[in-house]
Structure formats: C-alpha cells, structure tokens
C-alpha cells in the first residue's frame, strides 16, 4: 500500500482589533494536525468524502479540512479560553460557522487525541467569566433562524447537529473570554482577549471522537453571523475581512483577520444567497487556449459557482469540465502510459520536469480575475509516479453537473482575501514566507506581519510539510445521490 510522508505545517492567524486609542492586531497561532504521520491515498479521499458531506449538509459543526495529497492533514489553533485561561487545540475551519469545544462530562470523548495529545474539557464553573447562553438570546435565535420553540425563562440554548455522513454533536452554548495574541508592532505581538459565544459539546458520535484525529473542538470562520469573526465584527472590534496565504514551498503561512492592504488584491463578487464562499467562473484556459464551453456549464446546478474552500485537499470539477480539461492536459504528452490507482487517481510515469512538459491552467472569473495553476501544483507525486489532482465530481452524481470546489491544489502560494463587508473575494500569487501589511483602521498605520511557526505544541512536532492551508473537504457518492 502506498503512503505519503507527511510533514509539519502551521498557520498564523491575525486579528485586527480597534479601540478608542488605536487599533490592535491579534494573533492565533495555528498548526498542522497530521504532522509527522503517514496517510494513504484511500484515507485522503475518505477524509475528503466525510468533510464535504458535512459541508454540503449545511450544518453548523463540521469537521475541519485537509492539506494537499502529499501532506494530508487538518489545521489546529492553540487558543486560551476562560478566566483563568486554559489552552485548547481547535481545528480552524472556513467552512463552519461556530466555534465549539468539548466540555466536562462529554460522553464518549477521548482523553487523548492525535499523537497522544492530552485533550482539555471546558468547565464553565471553573471560569470566573463563563456564563450560560439562554434560549432567548439573540445568538440562539440566529443559530436557529428564529425564536426557539418552547423557550422559557433562563433555559439554555441547546444545539443538536447531524452531519451528512450520519455523525452528530450535541451540547449547549456558553459565553466566555477567548485569549489570543495581539500584534503590537511590526512582527511583534502581545496577549489580548475578547468575549465569544461558543458551543459546549456534551455528546459526540463515534465518528467525531476517534482518538486518531481528535482535537478539543472547531474554530469556525464561515459566512454566518454566528462565527467568531462575525461576533468580533458586530462589537466593532474587527472589520469583517480575513485572508490566508499558504506556503506550498517552505510550509507555513498566514491567516489574517482585518484589512490587508499590502499586497493589493483584485476582487470578484461572491455569489449571493450561497452558504459558502462561491464565485462565478467564466472560462477555462489550458496552455493559452480557451476551452469551448457554453455559458450554462458554469451556472447549472443548485450550488452556483465555484466554492473556494481552504480545507479541501484537491480540486473537484463537474464531468462536463473535467473531461475536456484533463484530455487537453494529457495531449501535451500523447505517449504517456496511464494507470489508475485505487480506482480513482489517474497516474503516470514521467521523468522530466512537469512544468516544462505540461500546460499551465487558468480559471477566469468575473471582474477580470484569473487564477493560475501550474503543472507542479495540479500534478502530485505518488511513489515514482505523478497523479492528476483534478477530480471528477460528476462521476459521483446522477446529473453530471455537480460541484466545482477549489482546495489546496489551487490555493497554495496565493494570498486569498475575503471581504464580507463588500461580499467579494480575491487572490494574488504571493511569496507566503514573506510579510503582508494590515491596516489599523483607527490610527491608519500599517503593521507588517510575516509567516511564523507554532511553538510549544508538545508532542505534535515533526518535519516541515510541503503545503499549508486552513480548513474543509469533499464529495461522496451518497451525498450526490441524496441531493438528486
């Protein structure tokens, strides 16, 4: 059985927090979950399957994302919660909308997680600042999209979430102080905190409590008003903007909340009324030749546009796009002997430079925004072979139109900016080991922030990985049948 050597990757999360006397940037350091481990191709796809089932089911508490196929893994942040503060390792996920951690008394929750990490269990009674969230609280109404039936008095706000793969999480909401680091100047930080409402998990299904993968919870950065980002923005402490830059060469990267002003990024509008970060694609170009698609290819289906998902491992295209794209790529090397690995990956032996022997691919979007994917990004190594990272989502569906989802395969080595205030998203190719500039909205000053490693992760140490990225993954046969 073929396995990939996995490395050590991390993410650096920055939060700009404004106050009357001037703005403050904050930082949450994030690490690569599957550091120092090996994952098989089948495990890679299985994780994508489960992850996107949860994503597409429209649930509030999905599992976090994966990395590239040659460095598979979720990403986790070390944050402090409570007064006094206790440390928690939470998966960072742009595809989910709330933050939650396991709580004291959690049924079936393991005491140790990945690589023997000792897991923490939140106890509101041990925190001087912790308090219950009642069912009449506006946050509870937002989560439930209206008033809670049977709510009376100070009854707690409960949640019961069932994911697309049948797993579930049960618990209630609490409010407490979350600790993170502030940027106090160029490449300098200090401790800060803010009050956040989050889920207190009391019961998890077996799928969510595997000691091989378990962490303390999930930190959601989705579009909903229930996310930590939205909570901080509603209090006027941050702008509803964030960005990530994932270094596919050296490992590491940056995930920043706030107004990134350096470098400049061209933006395209988010598709309205979609649950996730969807954008409208207008054309596909292979080797400087535009593929001949009708306009409805890019708009057909219930889920409009391309989902930009930093936790998905590969890139998934409807069959009507996948077929012509792969055919055009392989036409550059007509003598290749193709073989199928695990009944789903198209692979081949090639001894030359893939960047010299295969075409670049450009995806074009509204407002003249384009995204370039080079051969060494869409072809990944598998033992002594190269495998095609593009995946056919249509082959898993009945209507052959399904989803287009761009994950780490195309997002690495790019600064991706999300502007929820203007409902737009954009990206630019960038050296993710360098620094970016974040503007303090109060003082107008710009602070430089560079990529950083997460220290003090105890047993979770290993070699640097090839790539990096936040959060979400993908596609399963039962999902598509269920949506048809």
d(CA 42, CA 204): 25
Does 309 qualify as catalytic in the annotation?
A: yes
Q: Would you say 286 and 361 are in contact if contact means Cβ atoms under 8 Å apart?
A: yes
Structure tokens at 90: 């939470």
Residue 382 β-bridge partners: 385
Among residues 252, 286, 262, which one has the least CA distance to residue 413? Answer: 252
Structure tokens at 83: 């007064």
Q: Would you say 330 and 337 are in contact if contact means Cβ atoms under 8 Å apart?
A: no
299 CB neighbour count, 10 Å cutoff: 14
Structure tokens at 112: 């140790």
Among residues 60, 366, 33, 12, which one has the least CA distance to residue 230? Answer: 60
Does 60 qualify as catalytic in the annotation?
A: no
Residue 464 β-bridge partners: 8
Q: Would you say 32 and 65 are in contact if contact means Cβ atoms under 8 Å apart?
A: no
d(CA 460, CA 87): 15
d(CA 13, CA 182): 10
d(CA 320, CA 375): 21
Structure tokens at 227: 């996310």
DSSP string, 80-104: EETTTTEEEEEEEETT----EEEEE
d(CA 390, CA 276): 21
* SS3 category, 63: coil
Catalytic residue, candidates 48, 165, 181, 309: 309
Structure tokens at 163: 């994911």
d(CA 295, CA 310): 26
Sheet holding 379-382, edge to edge: 338-341, 345-348, 385-388, 379-382
Could you list the beta-strand ranges (E) of 273-410: 278-279, 281-286, 289-290, 306-308, 315-317, 338-341, 345-348, 361-365, 369-373, 379-382, 385-388, 390-392, 404-406
Q: Would you say 370 and 363 are in contact if contact means Cβ atoms under 8 Å apart?
A: yes
DSSP 469: -
Give the distance between the most distant pair of CA atoms in the chain: 73
Catalytic residue, candidates 93, 165, 247, 419: 93
Which residues are tagged catalytic? 93, 309
């Amino acid at each position: 059985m073929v396995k990939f050597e996995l490395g050590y990757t991390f993410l650096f999360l920055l939060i700009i927090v404004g106050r009357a006397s001037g703005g403050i940037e904050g930082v949450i350091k994030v690490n690569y979950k599957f550091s120092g481990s090996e994952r098989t191709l089948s495990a890679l796809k299985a994780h994508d399957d489960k992850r996107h089932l949860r994503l597409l089911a429209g649930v509030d508490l999905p599992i976090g994302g994966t990395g590239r196929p040659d460095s598979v893994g979720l990403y986790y942040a070390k944050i402090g919660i409570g007064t006094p503060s206790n440390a928690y390792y939470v998966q960072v996920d742009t595809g989910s909308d709330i933050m939650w951690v396991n709580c004291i008394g959690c049924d079936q929750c393991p005491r140790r997680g990945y690589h023997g990490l000792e897991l923490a269990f939140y106890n509101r009674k041990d925190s001087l600042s912790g308090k219950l969230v009642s069912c009449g609280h506006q946050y509870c109404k937002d989560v439930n999209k209206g008033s809670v039936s049977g709510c009376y008095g100070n009854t707690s706000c409960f949640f019961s979430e069932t994911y697309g793969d049948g797993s579930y999480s049960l618990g209630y909401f609490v409010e407490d102080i979350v600790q993170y680091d502030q940027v106090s100047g160029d490449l300098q930080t200090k401790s800060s905190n803010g009050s956040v409402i989050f889920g207190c998990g009391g019961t998890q299904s077996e799928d969510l409590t595997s000691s091989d993968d378990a962490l303390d919870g999930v930190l959601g950065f989705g579009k909903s008003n229930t996310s930590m980002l939205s909570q901080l923005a509603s209090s006027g402490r941050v702008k509803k903007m964030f960005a990530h830059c994932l270094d596919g060469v050296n490992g590491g990267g940056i995930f920043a909340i706030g107004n990134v002003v350096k470098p400049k990024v061209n933006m395209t509008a988010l598709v309205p009324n979609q649950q996730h970060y969807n954008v409208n694609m207008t054309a596909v170009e292979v080797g400087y030749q535009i593929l001949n698609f009708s306009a409805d290819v890019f708009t057909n289906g219930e889920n409009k546009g391309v989902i930009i998902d930093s936790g998905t491992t590969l890139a998934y295209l409807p069959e009507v796009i996948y077929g012509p794209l792969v055919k055009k790529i392989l036409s550059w090397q007509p003598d290749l002997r193709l073989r199928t690995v695990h009944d789903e990956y198209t692979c081949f032996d090639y001894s030359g430079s893939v960047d010299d022997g295969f075409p670049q691919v450009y995806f074009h979007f509204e407002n003249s925004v384009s995204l370039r994917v080079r051969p060494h990004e869409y072809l990944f190594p598998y033992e002594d072979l190269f495998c095609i990272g593009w995946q056919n989502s249509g082959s898993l569906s009945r209507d052959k139109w399904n989803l287009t989802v761009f994950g780490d395969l195309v997002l690495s080595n790019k600064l991706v900016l999300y502007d929820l205030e203007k409902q737009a998203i954009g990206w630019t190719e960038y050296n993710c080991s360098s620094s970016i500039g974040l503007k303090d909205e109060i003082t107008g000053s710009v602070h430089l922030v560079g990529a950083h490693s997460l220290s003090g992760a105890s047993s979770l140490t290993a070699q640097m990985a090839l790539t990096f990225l936040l959060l979400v993954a993908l596609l399963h046969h039962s999902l598509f049948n269920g949506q048809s």
